[in-house]
Amino acid sequence: MDHEHRVSKSYSPVGFGEILQKRSFTSLDQVNGLSKNNDKNRPLIVRPDGQLVQSEDNTWGPRSLLAVIDGVQAVGWAMIFVQWADEEDINLYIDWFIRIARKNAKMLNQVKEYWDHSSWTLALATRGQTIGFNLTFKQATTEIMSDLSAMNNIFIAVPSPTPTPTSTARAKGVAPEEGAPQDEPWPKKKKKGDRKGKQEKGNKVKGKEKGKDKSWTRGKGSGTGTGKPKEGGMELEAAQSLGQAQQIGQQSQ
């Protein structure tokens, strides 16, 4: 980074894990497990110019929000150390990206992609006149922070993949995501005597309905269904028989 700033002016993006792999201790004053020397384990490759060299070590990538924030802060301190710009301008850019990472904590893949995009934009903007725009660090970062279209293209247009439900989630009865394949439930085994009990219950219900129908049609007039006529019905029959007797008496006279 110091050589690119003072000599070549050919800036290149700085990844999350480049500085985290180089330091001996972490931010918690513990020995950094990523700084192991794996030169002996790296395979040999042949470069296009015919030389036999060891392959480059793969850059470690953070897998949590705290690791992402730690990597961004490490890059910011490195920029301050090699004097890429004023400390206030560097802190403004680093704090802005940390806020974006915290806001999109569940979209770490998009956060990494946006860091790579912003780093390449910054590197190309601050390069020399022949291969870049020759902007200052403050000018380049101001344009990056105000470019909302690039941020929306990464965080909105490309949604994060939905995780598949685990076995524990299925056991708890958590509803799967929309469009996710659902497992067909196994049919329950029928216990012995279930069918017989259901048939007896159905027969009892049918018997009750039949008895209800018969009791309803058994009475006369507006009976209650018990087969016995009301008192009003008896008075009506007595009046009818009395009227018939009077008519017969008049006819005989």
> What pLDDT, on the 0 to 100 scale, is given for residue 225?
47
Other Cβ atoms within 10 Å of 62 Cβ, number: 20
Residue 74 lies in a domain: yes
Residue 46 lies in a domain: no
Residue 205 lies in a domain: no
Residue 113, SS3 per DSSP: helix
Residue 18 lies in a domain: yes
Domain that holds residue 140: 2-38+56-155
pLDDT-derived band of residue 36, with 50, 70 and 90 as boundaries? low
Residue 15, SS3 per DSSP: coil
Rounded to the nearest 10 degrees, the angle between the axes of helix 65-81 and helix 87-103 is: 170
pLDDT at 179 over 60: no
Strand partners of residue 46: 52
User: Which tens digits make up the pLDDT trace of 103-148?
Assistant: 999 999 999 999 999 999 999 999 876 667 789 999 999 999 999 9
User: Which tens digits make up the pLDDT trace of 55-77?
Assistant: 665 666 778 898 899 899 999 99
Residue 231 lies in a domain: no
Burial code (b: 16+ CB inside 10 Å, e: under 16) for 14-49 equals bbbbbbbbeeeeeeeeeeeeeeeeeeeeeeeeeeee
**Between 42 and 76, the higher pLDDT residue:** 76
Residue 244 lies in a domain: no
The token pair that represents 22 in the structure block: 């180089």
Our count of domains for the chain comes to 1
> What pLDDT, on the 0 to 100 scale, is given for residue 23?
73
pTM of the model: 0.54
Residue 251 lies in a domain: no
Residue 31, SS3 per DSSP: strand
Residue 145 lies in a domain: yes
pLDDT-derived band of residue 215, with 50, 70 and 90 as boundaries? very low
E strand spans, the chain = 44-46, 52-54
